[in-house]
Amino acid sequence: MTLRADLNDVACGLLAIFLALGVGLAQVSDPDAVKRRALALAQAGNYAEARTDLERLVSERPNDRLARKLLARVLIAAGAALARMQQTARSVGVRSHQHSSRPPDQNDR
């Protein structure tokens, strides 16, 4: 290989690194876009992704009150959704015992 080919390889490698960094930075460079995406995710019930986006945004912009408020709402909504799922599971468990011919054992309570 020649010196020119080596320099070309190095230049291509550096370009790839800068592009990768640019893509990563672009994801949080527009905090309003991150908030809109997180809100849409939360409204669709995808609290985990909304939480991830907002936690990253809050870690990079700790003084962003709206981001913190949205994160709190996502955490509350996620907790409420979990509580509803647990209540539904308990309710279904009780109903299945009411219709069962056998009494519930210790593990069913």
71, with CB counted inside 10 A (0-12, 13-18, 19+), is buried
- Judge contact between 71 and 51, C-beta under 8 A: yes
**Which pLDDT tens digit goes with each residue over 11-49?**
556 655 655 555 454 456 799 999 999 999 999 999 999
**Which pLDDT tens digit goes with each residue over 48-86?**
999 999 999 999 999 999 999 999 999 999 999 889 899
